[in-house]
Structure formats: C-alpha cells, structure tokens
Amino acid sequence: MGNHKFIISGGGTGGHIYPAIAIANELKSRFPKAEFLFVGAQDKMEMQKVPQAGYAIKGLWIAGLQRKLTLQNLLFPVKLISSLWKSRAIIKSFKPDVVIGTGGFASGPLLQMANSLNIPTLIQEQNSFPGITNKLLSKKANKICVAYENLERFFPNEKMILTGNPVRQDLIDIDSKRAEAIQYFNLDPSKKTLLILGGSLGARRVNQLIEKELDFFASQNVQIIWQCGKFYLDEYKKYDLNNNQQPATNIQVLAFIDRMDLVYAAADFVISRAGASSVSELSIVGKPVIFIPSPNVAEDHQTKNAKSIVDKNGALMIKESELDENFNSVFSDLVANENLQKQLSENIKKLAKLNATKDIVDEIVKLIKK
C-alpha cells in the first residue's frame, strides 16, 4: 500500500476546524506515512489553528455570500472562479487518494473540483440542518457522515451514515478530574459552578445577559466561569475576580478556555450556544445545559441543533428573544430541582456518540480501497 495522501478542508469557525484536525489525527495514527494537506479560507482562523496542530495548509481567496448587496458579493464570482482554479491546481499537484470536507467556505470549491476530477470525496456534516454548500456537494460525494438523524430530505439516503461529530477524547472521563478542576480554577468546592460558553468567537447577546444578571447569580449562590470570547474580553474583564476586589460572586472572565476537560469537570450547570461541536461535546460531558442558540447563523441551524436535544428531554433552551422574560425563572428552577438536573444529564448522555472519529475514518478507508 503506497503512501496515502489526504486533502482535508474545513474552517471559518472552531466547529469546522476541530473535526477536520481530529479526522487527520486518526488517519495519521492508522497510516503513519500518510501525507496531509489542509485547504482553508485565506483570512480565517484555520490558517493559524491548523499549523499549530502540525499540518500544512493552503488558503483560498473565498468568502461567503452576504445577504445584502456589498462589494464582497460583487467579488464573489471572481473569488469562486479563482478558488476553483487554485483547488484544481492543488489537487493535480498533490494527487490525493481522498478529499474530505468538514464545512466552511473553502470546502465548496475544493470538493467541487475533486468531484469533477473523479477523486473520491467524503463530507462530514456537523449540523442537524445542513448549509447550502454541503447540500450541493452531496449530489456527487461518495459518502456523507452525519451527526443527526432524519437528514434524508437534504442528502441521498444511500450515501449517508450516522457517525456523530468528532470530539476531544479527553472529555470522555471527566468525572475523575473534578478535584483537579476545582483546584485548577481555584473554585469553592462547597458552591455550585456555572459555566458560560459563547463559542470560539464569543456571543454578544449571551454576554449582555450575564452582565445584567450578575446580582441574580449572586442570589443563586453560584460561582461563574465566563468564556466571553476574544472580541469581548476588554469589555467584561472588569468583572473578573482578579480585577474586582469585592465581587458579588466569584467570577472568572476568560477569552478562551484551554483546558476544556477541566472546565467541564468543574461545571454543575452550563449555559451555551448551540453550535454543532458544542452540542456534541456537551452530550459526552452530560451536565445540565441551557442552550441559547444564535439566531444569526445560516438557516437558524443552532436552534435546530438545540431542539434535537430538547425534544429528547436532554437540555433546556431559551431563545434570545425570550431571555428577558424567561431566563431567571428557567435558571432558578434548574438550580432548585435536582431531579430535573439528573434527568437532563442522563438523557443528554444517551445521545453521545463516542466513536465518531473512528467511524468516519473507517468510511474514508473504504473509499481508498475502492
């Protein structure tokens, strides 16, 4: 079996990048001599994150279509054609066995070209409601690995396989890390801990809610780890325990959390956006969650992701438009109701798919053998 070569494309947000890297790592452990090349959008975070993970990446000059008429939109056809040509050149010179797409702008032109050059392609769709790129690509893709049921209306059924989303392996046994986590974040072991996750870039509306409700949280006797996102750190770091001599409650404000395993181990309750990777992680972690889906994403897929868990009694959800009227009562009911906490935990854990990365790579290996 000569040296295998894989091109992987995914990016724009952590939710597309992490699965792409997880798939590469698993392929590498099975084929230590394999060669890998990532393809991303040239001004997005994958251009930093992928090299940090030890892989080479090439950038395409591509962006999404904006909803309104802008210069970006007028440039879109030019960028698309440029990206298709560059994708073709990359594929011709690298000669991959399989091309893998995990979503994000760059995966569109790249997989389109791979399809037209008859190279096997696999799509990994993280969301319960696919975006337009993957719907178009699915017609020619050889395999589509999905994380949610009932996607037949978007994708050809015979190509689909339910694998789940790749998640960090270090989240699988967090119960044993609780003591270490409490020490790491310097928490009070006698208090309950609330973890707030706004996604890799942060979430304005969630941050505004937390700021407004700081006295309410103090009255609920919870301590807080607040991941506010890098764009918002300057605005909210004044509430951090270390900057504030007499905080109403113990609060830590962080742009980004390095040790997700420990922060999940420490948390008793989680308030989170409902991006696909967060939903998949939280299913493995199994803590009681209140989802606040972002309404500003394509096809409102975060609401659909959250609903797929809520419908199975695995989490609570509050829409942004209903936060002012409902948040306090939903949160205080959850804190007071241990039966509900237990029920949510047990139900969300049933939805976890622990072997997703391995199952996706099994499908990629079948495509090589063809």
**3-state SS string over 238-270?**
HHCCCCCCCCCCCEEEECCCCCHHHHHHHCCEE
The pLDDT assigned to 202 comes to 76
The pLDDT assigned to 250 comes to 86
The pLDDT assigned to 241 comes to 77
Regions of the chain short of the pLDDT cut 50: none
The pLDDT assigned to 67 comes to 58
Write down the pTM of the prediction.
0.83
Amino acid occupying residue 139:
K
Helices and strands in the chain, H and E counts: 15, 13
DSSP 8-state code for residue 328: H
The pLDDT assigned to 89 comes to 95
The pLDDT assigned to 248 comes to 54
Neighbours of 271 (CB within 10 A): 24
DSSP one-letter string for 77-99: HHHHHHHHHHHHHHHHHH--SEE
The pLDDT assigned to 243 comes to 67
The pLDDT assigned to 301 comes to 86
Q: Burial level of 204, CB count in 10 A (0-12/13-18/19+)?
A: middle
Q: Give the span between the Cα atoms of 208 and 305, in whole angstroms.
A: 23
